[in-house]
Every structure is written in structure tokens, then in C-alpha cells.
Structure 1
Amino acid sequence: MNSESHPAIVFVVDDDEAVRDSLRWVIESAGFKVKTYPSAGEFLKKLDPSQSGCLVLDVRMPEMSGLQLQKLLSEKNNPLPVIFISAHGSVPDAVGALHGGAIDFLMKPFDNQILLERIERSIKLDRKRRETRQQQEEIAQRVAQLTSRERQVMELIVKGKPNKVVAIELGISTKTVEIHRARVMEKLEAKNLADLIHLARFLEDTNVESSPN
């Protein structure tokens, strides 16, 4: 069971009340907090993007299908992992769901233990995604404090170029480079060059864009 002060929630969206009740019992018995919804629309009305957890989602439902909801969440950049369940799913449905990033596509009836394992995996993945996103935002905020010149200096420094070379390439004095370098280290809260390189690589690997001042 998740023991965080704000525990993850397993959201179950299925238009069949009996299925919702059954899933609630199974999932709550394993120690997870559960919320159920009869439709994608009802789920979206109550959706809190900051709430961690995962989504157990039926494929075929009236008004908005599970696949349509998955696509909408992706467009909104919502990191909530999705586990699809279906009694009448087709191969194209499964392919579409997995291609869209679903954790799994389970055909009803399925082994409850498999579902619980997928839920556990999904919650861990969601937690990791949210932690990474928070790191991205914090670092991006620091980088946003840099001036255009400081950003230029940083980009050359992390490539391993010494101050004299940076000065020549930017057409400024070595002393000015040293001043900009010190400000970059201070604004990014980097303790040393290795720390600065790590921050720069993290930004590059996570595709964070920050517009310089």
C-alpha cells in the first residue's frame, strides 16, 4: 500500500457498474485507494492533474471511448499511466492503446494478480515521472534567470572549452567570461563544473526549453 501523505489513487473508468464494483473490491483489498467513474466525461470533470496514481480504463464506452480519453490525456501532457481492460477488444484496439503508451491491455476476464502487479508498476512509474517533471521545472526556472550572454557562456563551458577560448569565440575579455561563469554557477546553484555539466545534460535529455532573458 502507498504510505505517502497524499497516496496515489487508482482511477477506474468503466460503464459497467458490476465491473466497477468488482474492481473496487479487488484493488482496495490490495491496499490501494480507488475512485470509480461510469464514463470518461465524469472522470474528466473530477480530474486533478496534480493527483498521482494510475488509470484502469475500459476500451469501449458510450460518448467517449477509452482510446479517445487516452489520447486526450496525452494531449494535455497528463502523466497518468493507463491500464486498458476490455471484454471485446480487437487487435487494432490493443495496438492503438500500447502505441499510445498504455502499460498493458488486459482482456476480461483477467487474473486479478496481474492487474494488481500492473497497478503497482504504474504507480511507481507515475511517481518517477512526476519527480522528473518537478526536477525539470526547477532547473528550467534557474536557467530562465540567465541572460543571453550567460547562456552562451554556459553552453561553451559545458563543452569543455577553457575561459580563454570562450572569450575569443564570443569576442569578450577573459575577465568578462569569468564574471559570467561565476553568475551562471550561482544562478544554477552548481557547486562545480561537473555539477554544471550534469544540469546541462539533464536539460538536454529531458528536452526542457528555457528562453534566456
Structure 2
Amino acid sequence: MPEATVHIVDDDPVLREALVSLCLSDGLAAVGHGDPGGLAQSLRRRSPECVLLDVRLAEQSGLAVQDSLRADGNTVPIIFLTGYGTIPMSVRAMRGGAVEFLTKPFIAEVLLAAIRKALAADAVALADRRARDDLSAKLSTLTPRERDVMRCAIGGLMNKQIAAELGITEITAKVHKRRVMEKMQARSLADLVRMADQLGVAATRQR
């Protein structure tokens, strides 16, 4: 998976380097962190990433690191590694969005499979976010009147009904609707409805 990066947070230098080597052997970029201090800053979120996070760290628990990342809105997939584990601990980790909760010693192939799963999920999430950002950018190019027309159009109103709803001529309504379709790059009304749904744009229904 090109450009994918695994961030390894473990205060045991021997294990940390072993995990970095394991990832590199599988063709993955890997960055080792002796503590979680600079982790948030190193997560660029431009390409698929995941974090291998030790539950027991000298300065801060891995669960607290997870909580901090989520509080900042960071959705990077996390795989927990621990020398011991309890059910409450694993439940808390999974509820916080952890992909896996693995106990040491771990089987290399099991860990690599978890990493590949996490990176694949992150690739999908990043693609979805870029698509939403792209739609938001397109929506921002619409004038206030064009947004009104868009809400009417996705509500199923015909040009004549849009004109009556907004107090404009039918020809003007038709022109605005065409511009909305062009600016949003919608191939059909159904396509525009799908875009509006993703953006949370509410439809105007016929009264």
C-alpha cells in the first residue's frame, strides 16, 4: 500500500525497533516513538496511517493517548499491544475506535494482518473525507439564490413550482437550476440528491 505509514508507540526500544523492522519487511513505512509526546504532530492524515500503541507507557497510558487523539478529532486507526489485558480494558479500547487489541507475545502475521486491515480502512475513510471536502468546495461556489433553487430541485419541485416558491420567473429558475447542476458537476437530479444528502442540505418540499 503506497505511502502508508505505521506509527509505533512503545517505550521499550528493543520491541519498538523490532516492530519497525517487521513493518519495513512488509513494505510499509514505519516511524518509532519512544513516547506519545510528538505523535499527534507526526500524524499528517494525507495518506493511510495507523498506530501501534502500547497500553502501558511510562508517562501516559495508551488508553489516555487514544482519548486525547479522539478528543482532537483524530480518527487514525489504533492497534493496541499489551503484555496483559482485561475485558474492561479491551472494551474501552474498542469503544474508542481501536481496530485490534492484541496481547504480547503476538504472532507476526496476525499483527501484520491487523495493520493491513487498519490501513485499508483508513484509506477508505480518507477517500470519503476528500470526497466530502470536494463537495463542500463545490457547494461554496453556489450563490444564495442557487442554493435556494438546489433545495427546491432536490425536493422534487419542477421549474414552474420553483419559480412560484421563490417568486422568480420560470426561465430564471431554469437558468439557476442549470448553473447548480454545472457547479456541483451533477450528472442527473438523482446525483444532485445524493450530493445534498452527503452535505446535509435539506430539501424544500411543495407546499
TM-score normalised to the size of structure 2? 0.88
Matched residue, 2:78: 82
* Letter of the structure 1 residue corresponding to residue 66 of structure 2: Q
Alpha-carbon shift at residue 128 of structure 1 (Å): 1.0
Matched residue, 1:155: 151
Matched residue, 2:204: none
Matches within 5 A, 1:41-190: 41-190=37-186
2-side partners of 1:45 and 1:168: how far apart?
53
Alpha-carbon shift at residue 167 of structure 1 (Å): 2.1
Task: Quickly say closer, same or farther: Cα 1:148–1:25, change in 2 above 3 A.
Answer: same
Q: Which digits, 9 at most, give the CA deviation of each residue in 1:115-138, with x for residues without a partner?
A: 111101111111111111111111
Instruction: Tell me the percent identity.
Output: 36
Alpha-carbon shift at residue 62 of structure 1 (Å): 2.4
**SS of equivalent residue, structure 2 residue 73:** coil
Worse overlay, 130-139 or 179-188: 179-188
Alpha-carbon shift at residue 163 of structure 1 (Å): 1.4
1-side partners of 2:44 and 2:198: how far apart?
27
* Letter of the structure 2 residue corresponding to residue 195 of structure 1: D
1-side partners of 2:41 and 2:172: how far apart?
54
Count of equivalent residues: 201
Alpha-carbon shift at residue 33 of structure 1 (Å): 1.7
1-side partners of 2:81 and 2:152: how far apart?
50
Alpha-carbon shift at residue 171 of structure 1 (Å): 2.8
2-side partners of 1:39 and 1:102: how far apart?
19
Alpha-carbon shift at residue 73 of structure 1 (Å): 1.9
**SS of equivalent residue, structure 1 residue 40:** coil
RMSD: 1.9
Q: Which digits, 9 at most, give the CA deviation of each residue in 1:149-181, with x for residues without a partner?
A: 211211121122211222222233222211211
Given that 1:139 and 1:199 are in contact with CA atoms closer than 8 Å, whether structure 2 keeps it comes out as: yes
Matched residue, 1:20: 16
* Letter of the structure 1 residue corresponding to residue 75 of structure 2: P
Matched residue, 2:5: 9
Given that 2:47 and 2:126 are in contact with CA atoms closer than 8 Å, whether structure 1 keeps it comes out as: no
**Unmatched tracts of structure 2, length 5 or more:** 202-207
Given that 2:43 and 2:49 are in contact with CA atoms closer than 8 Å, whether structure 1 keeps it comes out as: no
TM-score normalised to the size of structure 1? 0.86
